[in-house]
Amino acid sequence: DAMVIQNPRYQVTQFGKPVTLSCSQTLNHNVMYWYQQKSSQAPKLLFHYYDKDFNNEADTPDNFQSRRPNTSFCFLDIRSPGLGDAAMYLCATSTIGKQETQYFGPGTRLLVL
């Protein structure tokens, strides 16, 4: 089945220790998104790619970076995680176009100690 895969599902890191979350997709979608979702809150868009064209949300902290080496893979790097970065991180994909459905992965839950 075509899908959005996130690894790992759970990640524990130490305060200030860099961490990388990964997302892969078999949908062959051009657009990939990273969202942060804190407990009992809506997903918050961090950034997205149209193919290799990177688009950062204005309020995304500099601590968060992303890489998309090819169509299938996208990475979220948190350079110096703080306690406030503990959250679920969701990857989503869509085709290019107007109001296209976004397909979400299961998320990676990040715990910062």
Partner 1 sequence: QQQVKQSPQSLIVQKGGISIINCAYENTAFDYFPWYQQFPGKGPALLIAIRPDVSEKKEGRFTISFNKSAKQFSLHIMDSQPGDSATYFCAAQGNFGNEKLTFGTGTRLTIIP
Residues that bind partner 1 (CB under 8 A): 4, 31, 40-43, 45, 48, 50, 57, 90, 92, 94, 96-107
Beta bridge partners of 109: 10, 88
**CA gap 81, 42 in Å, rounded:** 21
Q: Shortest Cβ distance from residue 12 to partner 1 (Å)? A: 16
Q: Are the beta carbons of 105 and 91 closer than 8 angstroms? A: yes
Angle at 47 between CA 70 and CA 75, to 5 degrees: 40
Query: CA 72, CA 107: separation in Å to the nearest integer?
Result: 16
* Cβ at position 84, least distance to partner 1 in Å: 19
Nearer to partner 1, 77 or 100 (CB): 100
Closest to partner 1 by CB, 20 vs 101, is 101
Shortest reach from residue 83's CB to partner 1, in Å? 22
